[in-house]
Amino acid sequence: MSRRIPRLFAIESSFPEEYSVLRLLEPPGSCRQSLCERVFDGTYDKPFIVDSWPWRYLHLDFESVQSAMHLEDPDKLCLAYTRKMMAFLLFNRTPKRILLLGLGGGSLAKFCYRRLHRATVTVIEINPAIIALREQFRIPPDDERFRVIRGDGSAYVAHLPPRKDVILVDACDRQGVAPELDAIEFYQNTQRCLAPRGMLVINLCGDRKCCASHLRKIRDVYGDAFLALKVKSSRNVIVFAFKARRARIDWDRLNIMAVNLKCRLGLNFPQYVNRMALEWRLRKWQIARSCVRAD
């Protein structure tokens, strides 16, 4: 049975050039003026699309972009934070089971499905309106390797067996990381349902207080077995937390892998390694300095 693709209500021509077409999950004949007012004053309560050729953007409001797609290259990772989240491949080049919390415009989901041919990809999305837009972002239909499930990500991980190789968390609302994920139990459940050498990757977005709250919980659950990668073009921080603690990280080996992965996938993995190494060494230095002061 084929999925019914919702028709979107388009508002054209009344925007500056960069906002040439606005597409909304509204029925034909809706009031353009009322919708425009609600979208621009931030009271519109559904996700919406802005098309500015050759780009398509997913928004919850005009304060930030949730997802971006190049209409002539729909599987390309257009936003910097999504490219950096794929740095988990430095530690596991052939994951078999990937869980993604948060669908958005499907950038990560599509990239994992199209480029990691041995992986099964399960996506959990709580917002039915986001799921209703999946065809607009060329998200593939469900099959034996790919499925999108409507549900609460925090509740979903609470009942999983320990078998996921990678858990990617990109679940954000207008303020930042979805509030239901800001709980120690959520991070305990992610660690429990990872395979023995599995890893959690989370996009921390929002204000500094929100990010700090999540980092404290990650540290409480995963200890010092994590790396961080800042996204220079935004306030996002990507955190990679490992279920198995690592006595040391072989940075030379990671640099070799980074070059190979760049050739294979076209992402700047060598740069990601360098930045993670700087953060790792800085954190180790800070820990050593605090120990000296304590003595």
Render pLDDT for 26-74 as a digit per residue (tens, 0 to 9): 999 999 999 999 998 999 999 999 999 899 999 999 888 999 999 999 9
Domain termination site, one of 70, 89, 112: 70
- Looking at residue 175, its pLDDT comes to 77
Structure tokens at 108: 């990560």
Residue 95 lies in a domain: yes
Which helix H or strand E contains 57, and what residues bound it? strand 55-59
Residue 176 is classified by DSSP as B
Kindly state whether residues 41 and 97 are assigned to the same domain: no
Q: Which residues are catalytic?
A: 170
- Looking at residue 31, its pLDDT comes to 93
Kindly state whether residues 198 and 257 are assigned to the same domain: yes
Kindly state whether residues 123 and 223 are assigned to the same domain: yes
What's the mean pLDDT in 123-133? 96
Residue 199 pairs in a beta bridge with: 166, 242
Kindly state whether residues 147 and 263 are assigned to the same domain: yes
Kindly state whether residues 106 and 126 are assigned to the same domain: yes
Kindly state whether residues 88 and 203 are assigned to the same domain: yes
- Looking at residue 288, its pLDDT comes to 55
- The values of phi and psi at residue 149, to 5°, are -120, 130
Domain termination site, one of 18, 44, 70: 70
Kindly state whether residues 40 and 97 are assigned to the same domain: no
Kindly state whether residues 206 and 278 are assigned to the same domain: yes
Asked whether residue 220 carries a pLDDT value surpassing 60, the answer given is yes
Residues 248 and 283: their CA atoms lie apart, in Å, by: 14
Kindly state whether residues 226 and 91 are assigned to the same domain: yes
Band of the pLDDT at 281, cuts 50, 70, 90?
confident
- Structural domains counted in the chain: 2
- Looking at residue 1, its pLDDT comes to 43
Kindly state whether residues 105 and 233 are assigned to the same domain: yes
Runs of H (alpha helix) within 99-234: 107-115, 128-132, 153-157, 184-192, 208-222
Kindly state whether residues 57 and 89 are assigned to the same domain: no
Other beta carbons within 10 Å of 32:
16
User: What is the span of the domain harbouring residue 229?
Assistant: 80-267+274-284
| pLDDT per residue as tens digits for the range 160-196 | 999 999 999 999 877 778 888 999 999 999 999 999 9
Coil, strand or helix at 82: helix
**CATH for 224:** 3.40.50.150
Residue 141 lies in a domain: yes
